[in-house]
Amino acid sequence: MFEQLWLIPLGFVAGILGSIIGFGGGTIIVPVLTFVGFPPTLAVGNSLFAAFSNSVASTTMYAKQKRIEYSLGLKLGLMSIPGTILGAIISSDLSPTIFKILLALVLLSSASYILLKRKIEEKPIDVSRMLLIFSAGASFFSGVIASLFGVGGGIIFVPLMVVVLGLSMKRAAPTSQFILMFTCFSGLIVHSILGHPDYYQALLLSIGAFAGGILGARLSLEIKEKKLKIIVIIVIIAAAIKLIIDSTGIF
């Protein structure tokens, strides 16, 4: 039992990064769990509990900072729920090799977004140009990604809100954490019904992710974003490369 306590600091670190960026922490947790031998469905199920815990803590802090767009977040969150159900069902039939390759692509997309984030912010698009149909489709896809890979779906929601809907990162990341409460909760419910999570492991991850979410929301007001971006990009790219190597069996 005590040998699994390392999951708490893992959840804590992932929770800090997930809260600041708005991705939910699963981008760190799932690759690490996969590296140490967790089956994909177990890694995803556990991660969704942590991501939900992280989103609750982050949302509580961001609400006090008045940085959440509740109306938009509620709409996107509800539209993502059908996708989370589909993602959880698909995950049961996904082979470990295919899972690693697809997750690597998701991680590389995540790193690309973080790298280009500042350039995107310089040319915000007015909210009046919001395309409801596109947003609905993107939200559904985000739900699938969230539940299939256990990464929360923020990788889609944050760019969607910044690029398409014109929100600043100062509001997009907090709003994404609010949305993740819906996507992660619905995803973890379906994964639980399918018997994927280990509840003790999920609890340890969630404890760390909750504390990390609180700290991350506070640090987001002060931290130097450039340094954080470099660290996160290196970690994510390294994780993606390792997943690709594992899936190909080169070493």
In a domain, 27, yes or no: yes
Contact (Cβ atoms closer than 8 angstroms) between residue 23 and residue 157: no
Tell me how many domains the chain contains: 1
Query: Is 37 inside a domain boundary?
Result: yes
Which residue in the block uniquely carries the two structure tokens 């969607």?
Answer: 160
Crossing angle of helices 225-248 and 26-35, in 10° steps, is 30
Residue 147 lies in a domain: yes
Residue ranges making up the domain that contains 228: 6-248
**Is 52 in contact with 180 (CB distance < 8 Å)?**
yes
Residue 2 phi, psi (nearest 5) = -70, -25
pLDDT score recorded for residue 249: 63
Tell whether 22 is covered by a domain: yes
- State the angle between helix axes of 26-35 and 40-64 in degrees (0 to 180), rounded to the nearest 10: 160
What the block records as the tokens of 103 is: 């997750």
Cα separation, 183 vs 139, whole angstroms: 10
Cα dihedral across residues 67, 68, 69, 71: positive or negative = negative
Q: Which amino acid is at 113?
A: Y
Find all residues with CB under 8 Å of 183, minimum gap 6, and list them. Answer: 77, 80, 81, 83, 84, 142, 143, 146, 147, 152, 153
First and final CA of the chain: distance in angstroms?
31
Model pLDDT for residues 199-239, shown as the tens digit of each residue: 999 999 999 999 999 999 998 887 765 666 676 677 778 87
Give the residue from 62, 38, 12, 70 showing the smallest Cα distance to 150. Answer: 38
The pTM assigned to this predicted structure is 0.82
- pLDDT value of position 201: 96
Look up residue 204 and give its amino acid.
L
For residues 22-56, one letter each, b for 16 or more C-beta atoms within 10 angstroms of the residue's C-beta and e for the rest, the string is bbbbbbbbbbbbbeeebebbbbbbbbbbbbbbbbb
3-state helix, strand, coil in the chain (%, to 5): 80, 0, 20
State residue 61's pLDDT score: 93
**Count of CB atoms within 10 A of residue 228's CB?**
17
Residues 178 and 132 sit within 8 Å (Cβ to Cβ): no
Domain-embedded: residue 1? no
Task: Share the mean pLDDT of the chain.
Answer: 82
Stretches where the chain sits below pLDDT 70 are 1, 114, 117-133, 163, 224-229, 231-232, 249-251
pLDDT computed for residue 200 by the predictor = 95
What amino acid occupies position 235?
V
pLDDT score for 98: 83
